[in-house]
Amino acid sequence: MLNQPKDLDEIKYNEALKKKIVKLKKSRNAVIIVHNYQRDEIQDIADISGDSLALSQAAVRTDADVIVFCGVRFMAESASILNTDKKVLLPVMEAGCPMADMITPEKLKTKRLQHPDAAVVCYVNSSAEVKAESDIACTSSNAIEVVRSLKEKNIIFVPDKNLGRYVQSQLPEKNIILWEGFCPTHIRVQEEDVARTKSLHPEAEVIAHPECSPEVLALADHICSTGGMFTYVKKSRTKEFIIATESGMLYKLQKENPDKNFYLPTQNLVCANMKLITLGWVAHSLEKMVYEIKVSDEVREKAKRSLDRMLAVTGEKSGAIISGY
């Protein structure tokens, strides 16, 4: 089990690593950008943390020379696409997103040929090459806004079928053509898990990420991105919440809302890729300046168009949390 209580030696070791990271960060003029699913100790060293949209926006605004991206590859790739003048480092090269691998640019091209009148919207959880073949990108926090902004009625939505279905339920005027992709972590949440947790905590509100199945989303009081969950919980008068998303969310939710209680519907909501990054790998990344994420100029230019269009629809709203670490 990840994020278990740590013994004294581990605490001392982590503190030494944190000091080393702070020193290296200063000498490299680096910023540490952290996704909400990262390990607790990685969240503690974040300069900026948030959901995919907030992190893309933060990557555009930072004046650091180096971005250490603690997340998965597609996130670091987006930061690199949006910033040619900065070095973007992913501390663990293997940290990928299995959902992003469920579509290739070739397959997307074939799909487009089958629906020549459709616009292509890609979830940011996709490769730079897939973004380059799309008309516009979206994240879980702006997918509805992005699809609504398009003049086309027919929309090819890739790769997440659950997010695509959710967008369709909110925009009946559109015809969403789905792709058979999904998140292997979020599909582990079953309706029975939510119902059982709700029976144990009848006063709790259910908040679900739109990557969950439609059956789970039907049981949710509120559906939003990981960044949206922080805003919602803070505003709510409710004291108990069932959080249907990756387990890493609970650390900061609890830290920021000590008077509220949070429950996972099931204990196996762990994205193994997100948990690959450790303090040791962050220190290694800054020391050796690895692993640099680069995209070829040709792909970058086209992929940037999709991301820029998305950022133009969303404007400057950001759920990023800037820390003074």
The reply to whether 158 sits near ligand SF4 by the rule CB under 6 A is no
| Closest-CA residue to 177 (of 197, 199, 200, 153) | 153
| Closest-CA residue to 45 (of 259, 291, 292, 280) | 280
Contact pick of 24, 72, 130, 155 for ligand SF4 (by CB under 6 A): 72
The reply to whether 51 sits near ligand 13P by the rule CB under 6 A is yes
Contact pick of 183, 224, 242, 264 for ligand SF4 (by CB under 6 A): 183
Q: Which is nearer to ligand SF4, 118 or 211 (CB)?
A: 211
The reply to whether 62 sits near ligand 13P by the rule CB under 6 A is no
The reply to whether 307 sits near ligand 13P by the rule CB under 6 A is no
Instruction: Count interface residues toward ligand 13P (CB under 6 A).
Output: 10
Contacts 24+ apart (CB under 8 A), 284-287: 284/91, 285/68, 285/89, 285/90, 285/91, 286/21, 286/24, 286/25, 286/28, 286/30, 286/66, 286/68, 286/89, 287/24
What is the distance between the alpha carbons of residues 149 and 315, in angstroms, rounded to a whole number?
Answer: 13
220 in Cβ contact with 242 (< 8 Å): no
The reply to whether 139 sits near ligand 13P by the rule CB under 6 A is yes
Q: Which does 52 bind (CB under 5 to 8 A by kind): ligand 13P, ligand SF4, none?
A: ligand 13P
Scan residues 140-169 and list those touching ligand 13P (CB under 6 A): 140
Q: Which does 162 bind (CB under 5 to 8 A by kind): ligand 13P, ligand SF4, none?
A: none
What is the distance between the alpha carbons of residues 279 and 42, in angstroms, rounded to a whole number?
Answer: 6
| Residues 107-126, mask of contacts with ligand 13P (x by CB under 6 A) | ------------------x-
36 in Cβ contact with 71 (< 8 Å): no
The b/e string for 55-79 (b: 16+ C-beta within 10 A; e otherwise) is bbbbbeebebebbbbbbbbbbbbbb
Q: Which does 139 bind (CB under 5 to 8 A by kind): ligand 13P, ligand SF4, none?
A: ligand 13P
Q: Which is nearer to ligand 13P, 215 or 287 (CB)?
A: 215
The reply to whether 135 sits near ligand SF4 by the rule CB under 6 A is no
What is the distance between the alpha carbons of residues 64 and 103, in angstroms, rounded to a whole number?
Answer: 33
Shortest CB 258 distance to ligand SF4, Å: 26
Shortest CB 249 distance to ligand 13P, Å: 9
DSSP string, 84-131: TTSEEE-SSTT---TTGGG--HHHHHHHHHH-TT-EEEEESSS-HHHH
The reply to whether 314 sits near ligand 13P by the rule CB under 6 A is no
Which chain residues interact with ligand SF4 by CB under 6 A?
A: 72, 97-99, 125, 183-186, 211, 246, 271, 273-274
Which chain residues interact with ligand 13P by CB under 6 A?
A: 36, 51-52, 125, 139-140, 183, 211, 225-226
